Chain A
Amino acid sequence: AQSVSQHNHHVILSEAASLELGCNYSYGGTVNLFWYVQYPGQHLQLLLKYFSGDPLVKGIKGFEAEFIKSKFSFNLRKPSVQWSDTAEYFCAVNPIGAGSYQLTFGKGTKLSVIP
């Protein structure tokens, strides 16, 4: 079965700092990749996704992620974080051709941005 690893449980940054959250998955085949964000008290929202094509994908609110197939990674980045980016971030993987559309989630990374 596939698994998703998020390296950091809790990241604390000052405003304007750069962000990179790691995500690695274990699945040998083709995958769809997602980053979801959960702001305090709110539900999961799709931040960005990769299906195919350019491995550098841009999402909402200035976030981007890069798919590196050889490293089985899909790291999330933002050049300059804001206090409003404080949230929990989940990486998710959907294997293609596995006969289902299930998402496997990482355990999440909590981001705290200090004003």
Chain B
Amino acid sequence: GAVVSQHPSRVICKSGTSVKIECRSLDFQATTMFWYRQFPKQSLMLMATSNEGSKATYEQGVEKDKFLINHASLTLSTLTVTSAHPEDSSFYICSARTQSYEQYFGPGTRLTVT
């Protein structure tokens, strides 16, 4: 299947700083990528839909000024957690949609805010 990478896999940052997470589709172009958050022992919660060349669409309750998404190319979307706080600590997962409507997921990024 298609390959999606995320970088970094783990990041620890201090409260108040910003963290950028990259999501790349390695062997296909993705006009649409998705960002999810996964809490321990829970399912994935969709945060936003990232469309190449346009503004991201955020789910209800997700602060767009806190979780900045940029989809600058057909293979790269970035999520920046601004002014991170301990409650932002979580597992962030991206996925990329193929032209046949399948979604392939990245390995996730474990964010810990101290």
CB distance from B90 to the nearest CB of A (A): 15
Chain B residues touching A, majority SS = strand
CA distance A51 to B103 in the complex (A): 13
Let me know if A105 and B93 touch, CB within 8 A. Answer: no
Contact A42 to B107, CB < 8 A, known contacts A101-B32, A102-B49: yes
Cβ-defined partner of B46 (8 Å) among A42, A44, A45, A103: A103
Closest Cβ of chain A: how far from B92's Cβ, in Å? Answer: 12
Q: B31: nearest residue on chain A (CB-CB)? A: A101
**Chain A contacts to B: CB under 8 angstroms:** 32, 34, 36, 42-46, 49, 51, 90, 94, 100-108
Known contacts A103-B46, A107-B43, A108-B43; 10 additional CB pairs below 8 A are A42-B107, A43-B105, A44-B95, A46-B1, A49-B102, A100-B49, A101-B101, A103-B34, A106-B43, A107-B42
